[in-house]
Structure 1
Amino acid sequence: MTHILLYTDKLSEGYVILFTGLVIVFSGLLLLTLFFKFGLPFMLYIYKIITKGPDKKVAEISSKVNEEFTGEVAAAISMAIYMYLDVKHDNENAILTIKQARKLYSPWSSKIYGAYNKRL
């Protein structure tokens, strides 16, 4: 009788763990669905309201020219970017040379002496 009671106890404990896990997973999925369905659009709407500045027309935008930004500066920046991305890395030889080490015979490393258990 006690064996049956212990077996049903473990069985009911397994169902509790299964049910708890399923509730946690599906409630998490439900919360994520609600967040992406309602929370994210609401947050984007609030962000749009906060960051919205006065609307400008194309005619009102002035085109300022920076007199200090010359062709030499643009060339120096582009050369620095080119060197950073391509030239700074060394081209190494991809050939790997492995020299075989000479192995000396040693009776300490020989397995034949440990293979037989001689008793006299």
Structure 2
Amino acid sequence: MTQIKEGYLILFSGLIIVFTALLILSLFFKFGLPVMLYTYKIITKGPDKKIKDISIASNKKFTGEEAAVIAATIQIYLSEQHDFENPILTIKKAEKSYSPWSSKIYGVQNKL
């Protein structure tokens, strides 16, 4: 096979793979995901209950002081997470002194 025919073979096989994957994903999102969500809804709330009939359980012992402590702790944690650095960059050019030990010129020439 010539290189052009091999290139076309790679091109068409790649296109077939990509579009097949897109077709499978679109079919999954069209048909598979609603079925999964419906079964999840049946498992979590039961077949006879409606969503608005399910009550939200709350803890009566949870006070405002506890909520304030939790909020303050989260605020302190998030504020300490970031380092504040100087945004000004200073770039200094370092002057290199000439050294014959690091010069590549002397290694290339063959002096006998």
TM-score range, shorter chain: 0.5 to 0.7
Q: 1:80 Cα deviation (Å)?
A: 0.5
**2: CA distance between counterparts of 1:41 and 1:106?**
73
1:66 — aligned with what? 60
TM-score (norm 1): 0.54
Q: 1:35 Cα deviation (Å)?
A: 1.6
1:51 — aligned with what? 44
Q: 1:118 to 1:42 in 2, by over 3 A?
A: closer
1:80 — aligned with what? 73
Q: 1:73 Cα deviation (Å)?
A: 2.0
Letter in 1 for 2:33: L
**1: CA distance between counterparts of 2:65 and 2:39?**
44
Identity %: 56
Relative contact order higher in (CA < 8 Å, ≥ 6 apart)? 2
Match of 1:35 among 25, 28, 31: 28
Alignment: residue pair count:
108
User: Which consecutive residues of structure 1, in runs of 5 or more, have no partner in the other structure?
Assistant: 1-8
Secondary structure at 1:66's aligned position in 2? Answer: coil
